[in-house]
Amino acid sequence: MKVAIGVLLVLVFVALAAPAIAPHDPRVTPESALEKNLPPSASHLFGTDQYSRDVLSRVIFGARVSLGVAAASVLLALTLGAAVGAAAGLAGGWVDAICMRIVDAMLSVPRVLLLLVLVATTGTLSVGGIVLLLGLTGWMGMSRLVRGEVRLLREREFVMAARATGASEWNVFVAHILPALVPTLLVAGTLALASVIPLEAGLSFLGLGVQSPTASWGNIISDAGERPGDVWWVVLFPGLAIVCTVLAVNTIGERLRERADPRQRLVP
């Protein structure tokens, strides 16, 4: 757990301080034009790619984009999930039925396919667009969790008491139900972060996510080209960054889940 938090803090620091840390310009520069596909060395610790760009610097700048996109899209998904889940849970009846059927249907489509359809129809390839698409395809599981939680909370005494004092539905929700949802949202958000990072990397790898020259961990790997084995450093280092991040975030998420609800503790 401590290691996981440490890894994550280092990554966040690297992402924030990218321009100060990166040894080279992550873009093509005139001086570097002849340093194509160099293996790791003292001047290029992670080697260079087919456009003579320093892979270490690209991984460092990629942390910004990859972590930023992941965090922003999870926040969006949490907001949407909480909104739909709360609406369904509080309203009940046909609103609930329709929302949950749509959620069921969307959950049954592999998320990559949903993303592919959205990329095809919106044609978006900007960083903001990717955040939007990842958010739009990530809220369904959360809305289910929130709905379940809201339906339980709605019947609790403190909520009924608030209602009995004449608080409006909106006030009851904001002042009493929403705070009680925070642990659930925190756990769901952390675990969602761990699943969205490889997804963004995958999309960017396919050329349908963040576009080069903006570095993201996924599109750095796609710069390895047709024969990735010959330039293993272009694949290995961003790959390690992805795996370490996912492992760290997952560890933290699992631990948070145990804290939030000890009954969910998995068999040791």
Partner 1 sequence: MRRFLLARGAQAVTVIAIVATLAFVLVHLAPGDPFASNLDDPSNSAELHAAQIHHWGYDQPLAVQYVKWVGNLARLQFGWSHSRGRWVTDVLRETIPRSMLLMGTAIVFGVFAGVALGTWQAPRRGSMAEKISGSLAIVTLSMPEFLVAIAALAIPAARWHWFPVSGIVNPAMHDSMNAAARAGDILLHLALPAGTLALLIAASVSRYQRMAMLAVLPDEFIRTARAKGAAEHDIVWRHALRNSLGPLTTIIGLLLPTLFSGAVFVETIFSWPGIGRMMVEAVGTVDYPLVLAGVLAGSVFVALGSALADVLAAFADPRVRIDA
Positions in the binding site for partner 1 (CB under 8 A): 101-102, 104-114, 116-123, 194, 198-199, 201-202, 205-208, 218, 221, 224, 227-230, 232, 235, 239, 242-243, 246-247, 250, 266-267
Query: Which helix (H) or strand (E) segment is 248 a member of?
Result: helix 232-260
The smaller minimum CB distance to partner 1, of residues 7 and 167, is found at 7
Q: Minimum distance between the CB of residue 252 and partner 1, rounded to whole angstroms? A: 13
114 contact partners, CB below 8 Å, separation of at least 6: 106, 137
d(CA 26, CA 33): 13
d(CA 140, CA 146): 10
Q: Minimum distance between the CB of residue 219 and partner 1, rounded to whole angstroms? A: 12
d(CA 175, CA 191): 26
Q: Minimum distance between the CB of residue 122 and partner 1, rounded to whole angstroms? A: 6
Using DSSP's 3-state secondary structure scheme, residue 48 falls into strand
Q: Tally Cβ neighbours within 10 Å of residue 66.
A: 31
d(CA 179, CA 173): 9
Q: Minimum distance between the CB of residue 64 and partner 1, rounded to whole angstroms? A: 19
The smaller minimum CB distance to partner 1, of residues 45 and 114, is found at 114
The smaller minimum CB distance to partner 1, of residues 105 and 182, is found at 105
Query: The dihedral of CA 17, 18, 23, 29: what is its sign?
Result: negative
Q: Minimum distance between the CB of residue 48 and partner 1, rounded to whole angstroms? A: 18
The smaller minimum CB distance to partner 1, of residues 230 and 261, is found at 230
Tokens of 190: 């952390």
55 contact partners, CB below 8 Å, separation of at least 6: 44, 46, 47, 48, 49, 220, 233, 234, 237, 238
Q: Minimum distance between the CB of residue 259 and partner 1, rounded to whole angstroms? A: 20
Q: Minimum distance between the CB of residue 45 and partner 1, rounded to whole angstroms? A: 20
Q: What are the residues facing 54 on neighbouring strands?
A: 48
d(CA 257, CA 242): 22
The smaller minimum CB distance to partner 1, of residues 93 and 110, is found at 110
The smaller minimum CB distance to partner 1, of residues 67 and 159, is found at 67
The smaller minimum CB distance to partner 1, of residues 16 and 206, is found at 206
